Amino acid sequence: MATAAFDTPKLKEYPVIPLIQVGATSHLKPFVASEAIQKNLGFPGELVEDWQAKAIAKMGDLLGKYRSLQVYMDACVHCGACADKCHYFLGTKDPKNMPVARQDLLRQVYRRYFTFAGKYFPWLVGAKDLTKEVLDDWYSYYYQCSECRRCSVFCPYGIDTAEVTMAAREIMDSIGMGQKYSNEIIGKVHRIGNNLGIPGPALQDTLEGLEEDTKDETGVDVRFPLDVKGAEVLLVTPSADFFSEPHVDSLIGYAKVFHAAGVSWTLSAKASEAGNFGMFIGNYEQLRKIALRIREAALELGVKRIVVGECGHAWRVAYSFWNTLVGIGAGGKDPFAIELQNQLDHRYKQPMHICEFTYDLIQRGALSFDKEKNDSRIITFHDSCNVARASRMGDFAGGQFVIPREIIKAVANNFHDMAPETIFESTFCCGGGGGLLTDDLLELRVKGALPRMEALKNVVDEHNVNFMATICAICKAQFTKVLPQYGFDMSMVGGVHQLVSKAIRLGDK
């Protein structure tokens, strides 16, 4: 089904906070998951009979399981400090895309059923019964949030709309109202091992093709190994790296780094995907189940280190959650965690980001580069939300900002950052994160990209920037689609390891 026509917003010289336009994007909702997709994940196939009672019970359950949700439902003072911080509000003008209003969609129901004020004085505190209308609002607007957490950086209490969004999606899944895109992908991970649904043999083929291409390009035998037992490193990367442009250029970059450093590595057919959409739907069990594949693969292959490729939310899950979910990281005391700990090499961070890996080698002088090979590029860096605000790199605060930039500067001569209020922890989302990278939400994706596009335009105009590097598969896919809408060339976007790939010297030439 084609999406209805819409206007791409005009890029302004200075960012302007729009006046609200009630209902501007109330028509935007992603396709609902089919019965088969839902059942695969153990969710009801369609909206259940007594959905209202079930949803309220689920909300109660989540309030008892997540301190974040409980505190955030109570603590908001409606100060509005977050209101103009969401890229979707800035791009769509719909007031329900203001983070506080987005939270209020759940909060109004929380108040009605779980608080004194809402039970007895609903009109006073804006409490509402859970009606079909409210549920429809949930489905629209909780799928217009990329869970990017920009708003929570600016909230005086750190109220994290992503947590609220996740809870809302979890509630909707539990009553049979799932989103097609995310839930279909999770099903593919379970069935086939990765988000794109690439079976092992196809993966093998692709990797062999990449070996040939790299040989043609460099004259060197750079390997792309799959399921090699006893390799030092297990690389887990977004499956987009195997097939999509420009993602694959970064995969070639990782392979060259491993090659140049003389570190043996492997991919795993079983855990060929780093992305974990369990996070997008806020479901702990799915999150854990998807993460378990990595632990199993690591144990089976007997690797010493686990390295994660260029994927934003995958890195959040790996860095922040893997230790909790499956004991990848230090300090676990249950039998599985201990078994894994004994196998992994704890002189290294577990898990490690590919940028940390490359940066370490650069620091130790183990890699050398012909920087001028990147001279045709004037580069800027887009901090991806999940890396910027929800995870870290290296062993110092802010490493996730410093390390990718230092890598870029080590492999290229021209670098300019975008405006300070649009990078680091204030970075603007690409507009496609959080399970929204689907064509049924194209209008939202284009409009949500507006603040990033404005910041980009400024460095294009001022410094002739012609390349925006990023370390997230979703950002890359989103930008290649959205850049042309704003009059930019889609090849302007690419990975950090794409730049590394171009400049790295492969010793044995």
Q: CB under 8 A: which stretch of 124-132, 191-199, 374-382, 483-491 binds other proteins?
A: 124-132
Sheet containing 379-381, strands listed edge to edge, beginning at the edge strand earlier in sequence: 379-381, 467-470, 493-495
**Residue 264's binding partner out of other proteins, ligand SF4, none, with CB under 5 to 8 Å set by partner kind:** none
What lies within 8 Å, CB to CB, of 238 at 6+ separation is 195, 247, 273, 274, 275, 309, 310, 311, 314, 473
Nearer to ligand SF4, 156 or 507 (CB): 156
Strand locations in 355-405 (E): 379-381
Q: Is 150 in the site for ligand SF4 (CB under 6 A)?
A: yes
Nearer to other proteins, 215 or 346 (CB): 346
CA quadruple 118, 120, 124, 129: dihedral, nearest 10: 50
The answer to whether 412 and 501 are in contact (CB under 8 A) is no
Residues in 83-122 that interact with ligand SF4 by CB under 6 A: 85-86, 88, 99-100, 102
Q: Is 446 in the site for ligand SF4 (CB under 6 A)?
A: no
d(CA 411, CA 299): 35
**Residue 19's binding partner out of other proteins, ligand SF4, none, with CB under 5 to 8 Å set by partner kind:** other proteins
Kindly tell me which residue out of 176, 312, 327, 434 binds other proteins, with binding defined by CB under 8 A: 327
d(CA 234, CA 224): 12
Q: Is 162 in the site for ligand SF4 (CB under 6 A)?
A: yes
Strands 233-236 and 379-381, by their bridges, are unpaired
Kindly tell me which residue out of 38, 161, 358, 458 binds ligand SF4, with binding defined by CB under 6 A: 161
282 is written with which tokens? Answer: 């806020």
**Residue 336's binding partner out of other proteins, ligand SF4, none, with CB under 5 to 8 Å set by partner kind:** other proteins
Nearer to other proteins, 154 or 243 (CB): 154
d(CA 202, CA 289): 24
**Minimum Å distance from CB 391 to ligand SF4?**
15
Kindly tell me which residue out of 244, 323, 368, 485 binds other proteins, with binding defined by CB under 8 A: 323
| Terminal Cα-to-Cα distance of the chain (whole angstroms) | 51
Q: Burial of 36 by CB count in 10 Å (0-12 exposed, 13-18 middle, 19+ buried)?
A: exposed
Kindly tell me which residue out of 28, 105, 148, 307 binds ligand SF4, with binding defined by CB under 6 A: 148
**Residue 88's binding partner out of ligand SF4, other proteins, none, with CB under 5 to 8 Å set by partner kind:** ligand SF4
Q: Is 80 in the site for ligand SF4 (CB under 6 A)?
A: yes
Q: Residue 468, SS3?
A: strand
Nearer to other proteins, 68 or 140 (CB): 68
**Residue 425's binding partner out of ligand SF4, other proteins, none, with CB under 5 to 8 Å set by partner kind:** other proteins
How many residues form the binding site for other proteins (CB under 8 A)?
A: 79
Count of all residues that appear for the chain in the document: 509
d(CA 506, CA 499): 14
**Minimum Å distance from CB 291 to ligand SF4?**
22
Radius of gyration of the chain (CA): 23
Q: CB under 8 A: which stretch of 155-163, 200-208, 302-310, 482-490 binds other proteins?
A: 155-163
Phi, psi angles (nearest 5°) of residue 469: -85, 145
- Side chain identity at 420, as an amino acid letter? P
Nearer to other proteins, 78 or 215 (CB): 78
194 is written with which tokens? Answer: 């990765």
What lies within 8 Å, CB to CB, of 363 at 6+ separation is none
**Residue 349's binding partner out of ligand SF4, other proteins, none, with CB under 5 to 8 Å set by partner kind:** other proteins
Kindly tell me which residue out of 28, 73, 145, 210 binds ligand SF4, with binding defined by CB under 6 A: 145
**Residue 115's binding partner out of other proteins, ligand SF4, none, with CB under 5 to 8 Å set by partner kind:** other proteins
Nearer to ligand SF4, 157 or 348 (CB): 157
Q: Burial of 372 by CB count in 10 Å (0-12 exposed, 13-18 middle, 19+ buried)?
A: exposed
Residues in 34-93 that interact with other proteins by CB under 8 A: 63-68, 70-72, 74-85
25 is written with which tokens? Answer: 């994007």
Kindly tell me which residue out of 24, 28, 37, 163 binds other proteins, with binding defined by CB under 8 A: 163
d(CA 13, CA 497): 31
**Residue 250's binding partner out of other proteins, ligand SF4, none, with CB under 5 to 8 Å set by partner kind:** none
Interface residues toward ligand SF4, by CB under 6 A: 76-82, 85-86, 88, 99-100, 102, 145-151, 155-157, 159, 161-162, 429
